[in-house]
Structure 1
Amino acid sequence: MNNHSSIDLKAARIKGGVATDQRHDSAHKHVTGQAVYIDDMPEPAGTLHGCLGLSTVAHGTIREIDVSAVRSAPGVVDVLLASDVPGENDISPTGRHDEPVLADGKVQFYGQPIFCVIAETREAARRATRHAKISYTELPAIIDIGELDPVSSKLVTPPLTLKRGDAKAAIADAPRRLKGQMRVGGQEHFYLEGHIAMAIPGEDQDVTIYCSTQHPSEVQHMVGHALGVPSHAVMVEIRRMGGGFGGKETQGNQFAALAAIAAKKHHRAVKIRPDRDDDMIATGKRHDFLIDYEVGFDDEGRILGVDFMFAARCGFSADLSGPVTDRALFHCDNTYFYPNVLARSAPLYTNTVSNTAFRGFGGPQGMVGAERVIEEVAFAVGKDPLEIRKLNFYGPNGDKNGDRNVTPYHQTVEDNIIHRVIAELEESCDYARRRRTIDAFNANSDIIKRGLALTPVKFGISFTATHYNQAGALVHVYTDGSVHLNHGGTEMGQGLNTKVAQVVAEEFQIDLDQVKITATTTGKVPNTSATAASSGTDLNGMAAQNGARQIKDRLIDFAAKKYQVPHDQIVFLPNRVRVGNQEIAFADLIKQAYMARIQLSAAGFYKTPKIHWNRDKGEGRPFYYFAYGASCSEVSIDTLTGEYVVERTDILHETGRSLNRAIDLGQIEGGFIQGMGWLTTEELWWDDKGRLRTHAPSTYKIPLASDRPKIFNVVLADWPEAHEPTIHRSKAVGEPPFPLGMSVLHALSDAVASVANHKICPRLDAPATPERVLMAVERLKAEARRRA
């Protein structure tokens, strides 16, 4: 065997394996404009363009649709109605048949798509929609869930109940008790790239869909149903999205289905890209909740029993409201042990757009409810909320008694490290000294008040629908030693492809630039789950690793036989393989294996172990593990205007053995800012006609760069303490950082409370806009005067 001089035998490790800081594979393309999104793709000759015609009433029956003027408008080729859907007029992701591609006979929210104009240009299609004449018989509309009884009102999907112990008896017998209600607003996804789909017809029944989606397999199925063709006739491809956040898990189905119907009907490519206003009006958002709570506790502030009702505005159809409201209940404990708990969901029907997945998937809303209860108890017993938080934590990891480690859904918390996370952050951010400093400042400042809060996070990782916890990958090794990888996950800016490529590079011990991940397509990896629930890297990384190891095992068997050495004397080293006492370049071994007709391709697969869930009983182990974190935020508010500034935020977030610290830091920072925006400035508002009035950047305020904390410290708790054997002992980092933004909401509450010497709980609803902060300040001042 030859020792090749081109090999660096002194190389300590490969360039770009796991646990190294690697830039996002498309970062340079993002910032230079070279990244190709669907709207950047060259359009086939003769491409047509679609635009949706939307309902102008919130609820009613359609008496007549006159689109004759639309059809005769310049450039118009066709107008699609419900009757033009050749297959099933339904895109319900849960199979409840409650979400039509186009409204048929009735409309159930203002902005519901009724028709779709197909024209030679996008501008022509948009202009033509205005000529439609539709008459309705209006029906009563349900807009605000505050007007509904969560027990007796119409639901879009069956509710869930979690129960352990006897909450009502514990509350009744508790030395102290209180009850209250909190409103938590929704949130618009506000991607940089909105929804878009382009369909290209093929021969026979075939159609290819390029769609901005987190769930290519679902788009494949929905398009197949709408066309009335089998799934094998539909191929869906997505290279990258300009943001997803859960909103592209189901909401892309409609655009893909309509583009496909028109493409097959006219034998021309069809593209649909709604403008921002139509996108925001016609697609679902984060669920807003009305949370009722009653809690019993002792004089120290220890919770003895709690009763929750989580009522959600779900919209006109089920969409994903069932699992979203389920997950809200799963996280109504956050990091706290409730000896007795009753938690119920109410997924309420409303005549608004059907709400959908959003980063955290209901979990953040559940946590906000938990933190409100903690805050209420703290004010009731006159203690710092942080003290009450620590008093009610789940038992320390390894608690032999195990009597403070069981969740409301009867899963034992076996990996609890929140005590350590909080202790380290409390010390590193100098919480105690800053608390004293802020109290002194507020005592001497009449107008500007400061607030401080430190809030924890425990986030469950896995799809609660157990069957989604699976993934596939396709790994090819070419004869030059380069590797082609395809998996079922989708890249929406979160760095999934980079991390999965690092996993494969680590397995083969080759440099990262030797691994290429291609666009996600249903034609390579079938029956994929959505890239959601923070599971993208966990599932697809494991599947890719499985595929790579199949090939490695074949290479080891081949080398052992060819060179007559034991299997344990074959070791993969950086860009080379040691076989006995000799070394050979990885690419050379691949060539030899190919000549010996060794299969150099593998389909990898992974399914998450241990998890199970019985929804009827409200018991099981829905989560493989938990991810933990904490944030401490300091704010200043102007008590005359309600305006505020985030002065400083410190975050300590657990990632296990991070696969890529650079990407994880970006996810944590971005997740925090998005969570802060949800709880402070991002306000959705419907008028009494059911019209969404916050439907553009001019009326909907996402955080700007200037809104970030003036001082922003983020540290990874990358302790090697991952309890379960995850991919290289890493932990998910997509959704868990999002609820770290709760520290800003509670810091604002702390600042408001200072105007009444922290004697009254502000009960600050979210989003805590400057208007709500100002109203809370005035309310507390008035209450303080009344009590005096």
Structure 2
Amino acid sequence: MNKMDTSFPAVINGPLHADRRHDSAHKHVAGSADYIDDMPEPAGMLHAAIGMTDRAHAIITSMDLSAVESAPGVVTVLTAKDFPVNDVSSAHKHDEPVLTEKLVEFHGQPAFVVIGETRAAARQAARRARIEYEDLPAILSVAEAKAAVGTLVTEPLTLRRGDADAALASAPKRLQGQMEIGGQEHFYLEGHISIAIPGEDDEMTIWASTQHPSEIQHMVAHVLEVPSNAVTVFVRRMGGGFGGKETQGNQFAAIAAVAARKLKRAIKIRLDRDEDMTATGKRHDFVIDYDLGFDEEGRIHGVKAEFAARCGFSADLSGPVTDRALFHVDNAYFYPHVEVKSLPLKTNTVSNTAFRGFGGPQGCVGAERFMEEIAYALGKDPLDVRMANFYGEPGSDRVLTPYHQTVEDNVMPRLVAELAEKTDYRKRREEIIAFNKSSRVIRKGIALTPVKFGISFTMTAFNQAGALVHVYQDGSIHLNHGGTEMGQGLYTKVAQVIADCFQVDLDRVKITATTTGKVPNTSATAASSGTDLNGMAAYDAARQIKERLVAFAAEKWKVSESDVEFLPNRVRVGTDIIPFPDFINQAYFARIQLSAAGFYKTPEIHWNRATGQGRPFYYFSYGASVSEVSVDTLTGEYIVNRADVLHDVGHSLNPALDKGQVEGGFIQGMGWLTTEELWWDGKGRLRTHAPSTYKIPLASDKPEIFNVELAEWSVNKLPTIGRSKAVGEPPLVLPISVVEAISMAVASVADYRECPRLDTPTTPERVLMAIERLKTA
């Protein structure tokens, strides 16, 4: 399969490499897209609500649920003892109970579940619990965890190449610093929800809003103590995921399943927004300590850095997330000598989890801070420092990453040069410096930052996918694969692949709900690999069917196989032109198998965590952005005047969808870096747990001028599906340029002599404090 040509030569007006509407776009706009809460409820369905603790770290000394059990509409109450296996640890460390029994490890940890006739009755009853505690010391922040020599939730990682200590000691210039990078709430429009429907014997059907149906299947089977073949999971679409539905849905599917088995009735659990934000994990916040050695040209000689992360009370995905942060600490830059370490710290907060970029964005933010620090130390344009440190061309001595993978597809110099020229970056920067000299209150800033993002799961085994394709007797096509649709357009892209293979109209391909009953053992739709993996698996299935059809036609019409050609909605066999439905009908009566299971595994990748070396990524995606801002130095408030993006997606399968992903990723990343602030009080209570206290970007927050272009000249040199590149996660890193533009505006109050060292999110409060500090420095 991997040796086959998958470049798909373009067909005029064909289904691939063309703008195609998201298959559910019109339903999203009209409100007719069915989510789990829109499904007709099975007869007799009951509703579950969680009972949450209100301590960050404590021992439960007593839990009186009598008032809960006697509340109107309550059917039963579940505690930890009702779960055959009280464990939903995705890291298999058995450190994440479905319900806590005695030990409370974060504020809001679920301790019991109420099953009621209605959702309202169950939720109201849950508030009647009387729980008494013996308080324990709580560690809430990275600083507290480090000061207490905190326990690690998983093994740290070190990446090392060369001799960083010697390089730092001999470098002409050297500096040290620290940066705090805040976390982020997923804030999907559809919160966590599951429906469990009991069947015969040990069978259980689950509808879940999840990016990982196979993990829900395995976790529910684990908790129920049944084999995986007894559990079937369905997902048609999610109202957003962003990584928050990779592992976090396990708990709620398990709750619904255990209740359904006990009561032999369908159970639904849907979290309230406040509950969802309190009880589920978020993007990891990091504290980076760094030591940089460099020369007068701004070229780095050596880097040492420690990435300490607040991981929460259990491992969840913190190991691979903190690993991934180190994989991206180089971003687009070559470090001759480097040593970077992760520090995944245990804290008495909710366990942080996957979030779009999976630690990579935090690593990139660190890399860009390194470049910014050096630029201010030397009085240079940060872009010049960046360009001086770019990876080299293939064959040069500047192509080896800290994890010892060779960068073979570097398009960054061309991409950045093209963007800088298109946006008049140099001229605008000069104009902004001149403006700042005469402006008393409003200061402006501009920055151009790049992103190089590795594509693949760093756990090699996850880089596999399956698909199932049926061609029916009337020529219609049924498509199923292991990927999940969360609004990103994966279903549409894979359907385009199938339509292109058979050269039929896109509406002939029926997209069906992802289910473990059709495609087993699938990986999460994550790591930007959904299209790469599932598109190739679907292509493999279509290839098998086409080969059978070609052989059938050659035999029936007595022509060579090279004389069989699939044309738009018809098939040419020798000199005969046959409509596609008629051709398929004849194949059916000739007893040709018109169904196939496809499979794909990403080739050439490998990773040895023990040595910190390998090729964890199949290829890299690249992008760059220029952002311009205006900052009010009296209040710290700012607006993004303009943002320009040039992004590399290879030979785009669907430019309209890809541009949408770039635009959405930029805005979501801008929110993370500027306005979305998570805040816990001294008792470990998350106070930013609703839209009233947590500020995601609004339509009015987008750049006043927002230009997004795809690098149309780019084609993936490797045989990916259609020679495309992934687009899900890399764009989220682009708005680092917004932070650096704000930084330039702030630095202007001290004539750019000092790096403002802005932590993220760069809220107006942080900006104002930085301005006041620089004014008095």
TM over 0.5, yes or no? yes
How many residues matched? 768
Alignment correspondent of 1:336: 333
| Equivalent of 1:670 in 659, 664, 682 | 664
Q: 1:162 aligns with which of 159, 180, 195?
A: 159
Query: Is residue 2:513 matched to residue 1:519?
Result: yes
Q: 2:64 aligns with which of 66, 72, 93?
A: 66
TM-score w.r.t. the length of structure 2 is 0.98
User: Does 2:382 correspond to 1:385?
Assistant: yes
- In structure 1, the partner of 2:287 is 290
Partner of 1:115: 112
Amino acid at match of 1:31: V
Q: Deviations over 1:362-382 (max 9, x none)?
A: 000000000001000001111
Rounded to whole Å, the distance in 2 between the matches of 1:680 and 1:461 is: 26
Letter in 2 for 1:146: A
1:319 counterpart (316, 320, 324): 316
Q: Distance in 1 between matches of 2:693 and 2:753?
A: 36
- Mapped partners of 2:516, 2:762: distance in 1: 43
* Contact 1:51–1:118 (CA under 8 A) maintained in structure 2: yes
**3-state SS in 1 of match to 2:646:** strand
Q: Which residue in 2 is equivalent to 1:477?
A: 471
Deviations 1:730-788 (A, max 9, x none): 000000100001010111001100111100100000000000000000011111xxxxx
1:552 aligns with one of 546, 551, 559: 546
| Per-residue deviation, 1:546 | 0.3
Q: For residues 138 and 447 of structure 1, what CA distance do their matches in structure 2 show? A: 50
Please name the residue that 2:595 is paired with.
601
Given that 1:14 and 1:509 are in contact with CA atoms closer than 8 Å, whether structure 2 keeps it comes out as no
Q: CA deviation at 1:13?
A: 5.0
Corresponding residue SS for 2:372:
helix
Preserved contact between residue 50 and residue 273 of structure 1 (Cα < 8 Å): yes
- Give a deviation string over 1:327-347, Cα, whole Å, max 9, x none: 000000000000000000000
Q: Any idea what the Cα deviations from partners look like across 1:678-713, whole Å, max 9, x if unmatched?
A: 000000000110000000000000000000000000
Distance in 1 separating the partners of 2:129 and 2:162: 58
Please say if 1:445 is aligned against 2:442: no
SS of 2:730's equivalent in the other structure is: coil
Give 1:37's aligned residue.
Answer: 35
Distance 1:720 1:369, change over 3 A: closer
Report how far residue 38 of structure 1 moved: 0.2
The answer to whether structure 1 residue 279 and structure 2 residue 273 are counterparts is no
State how far apart, in whole Å, the 1-side matches of 2:171 and 2:11 are.
60
Residues 442 and 449 in structure 1, CA contact (< 8 A), matched pair in contact too: yes
CA distance in 1, matches of 2:147, 2:196: 42
Aligned to 2:6: none
**Who is 1:587 aligned against?**
581
Matched, 1:468 2:462: yes
**Which residue, out of 357, 360, 364, partners 1:367?**
364
**Distance between the aligned counterparts of 2:361 and 2:144, measured in 1?**
24
* 8 A Cα contact 1:151 1:346, kept in partner: no
SS for the counterpart of 1:300 is coil
- The aligned counterpart of 1:264 is 261
- In 1, the alpha carbon distance for the partners of 2:596 and 2:13 equals 24
Q: How does 1:301-700 map to 2 (within 5 A)?
A: 301-396=298-393, 398=394, 400=395, 402-700=396-694
Structure 1 counterpart of 2:539, which letter? Q
Tell me, yes or no, if the aligned pair for 1:14 and 1:510 is still in contact at 8 Å.
no
Write the distance in 2 (CA, Å) between the matches of 1:227 and 1:81.
15
In structure 1, give the amino acid aligned to 2:633.
T
Determine whether 1:701 maps to 2:698.
Answer: no
TM-score normalized by the length of structure 1? 0.97
Hey, what does 1:205 align to over in structure 2? 202
C-alpha deviations, 1:120-154, integer Å up to 9, x for none? Answer: 00000110011101111111100011223389431
| CA–CA distance in structure 2, aligned partners of residues 38 and 16 of structure 1 | 34
- Flag the 1:627–1:102 CA change in 2: closer, same or farther, 3 A: same
Q: Which amino acid aligns with 2:766?
A: R
Contact 1:150–1:346 under 8 Å retained in 2: no
Give identity over the alignment, percent: 70
Give me the whole-angstrom Cα distance separating, in 2, the residues matched to 1:128 and 1:496: 41
Conservation of the 8 A alpha-carbon contact between 2:460 and 2:605? yes
Q: Is the 8 A contact 2:570 2:577 kept in 1?
A: yes
Give, in whole Å, the separation in 2 of the partners of 1:351 and 1:720: 46
**Aligned partners of 1:625 and 1:723 also within 8 Å:** no
Distance 2:150 2:63 in 1: 32
SS in 2 for 1:148: helix
Amino acid at match of 2:346: Y
**In the alignment, what sits opposite 2:774?**
780
Q: Is the Cα–Cα contact under 8 Å of residues 467 and 537 in structure 2 kept in the other structure?
A: yes
* C-alpha separation in 1, matches of 2:716 and 2:529: 15
Q: How does 1:702-781 map to 2 (within 5 A)?
A: 702-781=696-775
1:581 Cα deviation after fit: 1.8
Asked if 1 retains the 8 angstrom alpha-carbon contact of 2:648 and 2:714, the reply is no
Corresponding position of 1:3 = none
In structure 2, how many angstroms separate the alpha carbons of the residues matched to 1:144 and 1:326?
A: 20
Aligned residue in 2 for 1:5: none
Q: Is contact 1:287-1:312 (8 Å) kept? A: yes
Aligned to 2:221: 224
How far apart are the structure 1 equivalents of 2:735 and 2:282?
A: 18
The equivalent residue for 2:98 is: 101
1:189 aligns with 2:182: no
- Tell me, in whole angstroms, the C-alpha distance in 2 between the residues paired with 1:761 and 1:283: 36
Could you list the per-position Cα deviations for residues 417-446 of structure 1 after superposition, in whole angstroms to 9, with x for gaps in the alignment?
000000000000110110111111111101
In the aligned structure 2, how far is the partner of 1:696 from the partner of 1:569? 63
Q: 1:16–1:502: 8 Å Cα contact kept in structure 2?
A: no
* Contact 2:649–2:714 under 8 Å retained in 1: no
Alignment root-mean-square deviation, CA: 1.0
Match of residue 244, structure 2, among 247, 251, 256? 247
The one-letter code of the counterpart of 2:456 is: S
Shift, 1:720, TM fit: 3.8
Name the residue aligned to 1:143: 140
Distance 1:664 1:719 in 2: 15
1:46 to partner: Cα distance: 1.3
Q: Which amino acid aligns with 1:137?
A: E
In 2, the alpha carbon distance for the partners of 1:304 and 1:479 equals: 65
Match of 1:133 among 130, 135, 141: 130
| Displacement over 4 Å in runs of 4+ | 12-16
Give the aligned partner of residue 17 of structure 2.
Answer: 19
Structure 1 residues 293 and 151, CA, compared in 2 at 3 Å: closer, same or farther? farther
